[in-house]
Structure 1
Amino acid sequence: MKIFQIIVIFILAFVMLAGAFNHLYAPETYKEFIPEFFPETLAHILSAIAEAAIGIALLVPKYRKWGGLGFFLLMIAFLPIHIWDLTKDAPAIGSKVAAIIRIAVQFLFMAAGWWIYKTYRTKS
């Protein structure tokens, strides 16, 4: 179980750090996900900071519980964006099926973040 948990943690940390990098390197990737009323540059900066902080926290055992909680909360914050995308005639992710799968994965991500938080909150 421990090795599985560490693998999950490292995968999620990689996803967060890659996302943070991508918000700065290729922001056009996320253009369709940002609501028109929200300043695009600000969205990229805030997302990159949050994702980098969470990714780093997941990698440092002393801060892992906060990384798990941060990941959980970020996935909750992004959920309305993914639901909104599903309601579009042409979802940014590509298809309605892909948008539904992404929402299901979002719930798995939320569960993983909460699992990490619950596991490590008593260890630090």
Structure 2
Amino acid sequence: MLPWHQYLLGVLLVLAGMNHFRKPKLYERVLPPYIPAHGTIVVLSGIIEMILGFMLLNKNTQIEAAWGIIVMLFAFIPVHIYMLQNEKAAIKLPKWLLILRLPLQLGLMYWAYLYT
């Protein structure tokens, strides 16, 4: 049996990935212009997020999932920086929350690291 917090992270990732399909325009808006094919990137990142979440819920794949989650969260950092720099990409979130998201990424990476 996995610890409850591992189930929590896995379910949160699955739900976050599903949200990419519920609100794709929101995710497209936060992508920096130098990233090509916004629609494709949103779909792929949503699928990857869900796959990693499900993999984290399986003892046999949790290590690979945890490393994948860390890499994915690291790859999302430019999006958070772009949201800080661009008012339209900030989706009306307060500046303090956008700043807080950067160390939150590190916390989420550590959380995933616990399952490696």
Establish whether TM, by shorter chain, passes 0.5. yes
Q: Which amino acid in structure 1 is aligned with residue 29 of structure 2?
A: E
In 1, the alpha carbon distance for the partners of 2:84 and 2:110 equals: 21
Q: In the alignment, what sits opposite 1:122?
A: none
SS of aligned partner of 1:116: coil
Is there any run of 5+ residues in structure 1 with no aligned partner, and where? 118-124
The structure that is helix-richer by fraction is 1
1:27-52 Cα distance to aligned partner (Å, 9 max, x none): 12313212234212201221122111
Deviation above 3 Å: which 4+ runs of structure 1?
A: none
Tell me whether 1:115 sits opposite 2:104 in the alignment.
no
Report the CA distance between 1:107 and its aligned residue: 0.8
Q: In the alignment, what sits opposite 1:49?
A: 47
Q: Which amino acid in structure 1 is aligned with residue 63 of structure 2?
A: K
Please list, as runs of the form range in 1=range in 2, the aligned pairs for 1:41-120 lying within 5 A after superposition. Answer: 41-89=39-87, 91-92=90-91, 94-117=93-116
CA RMSD in angstroms, aligned pairs only = 1.9
Report the CA distance between 1:73 and its aligned residue: 0.7
Normalized against structure 1, the TM-score is what?
0.81
Moved more, 70-79 or 26-35: 26-35
Report the CA distance between 1:68 and its aligned residue: 0.8
Normalized against structure 2, the TM-score is what?
0.86
In 1, the alpha carbon distance for the partners of 2:22 and 2:55 equals: 22
In 1, the alpha carbon distance for the partners of 2:5 and 2:78 equals: 24
Paired residues, what number?
A: 114
Report the CA distance between 1:9 and its aligned residue: 1.3
Instruction: Report sequence identity in percent.
Output: 22
The one of 10, 20, 25 equivalent to 1:23 is 20
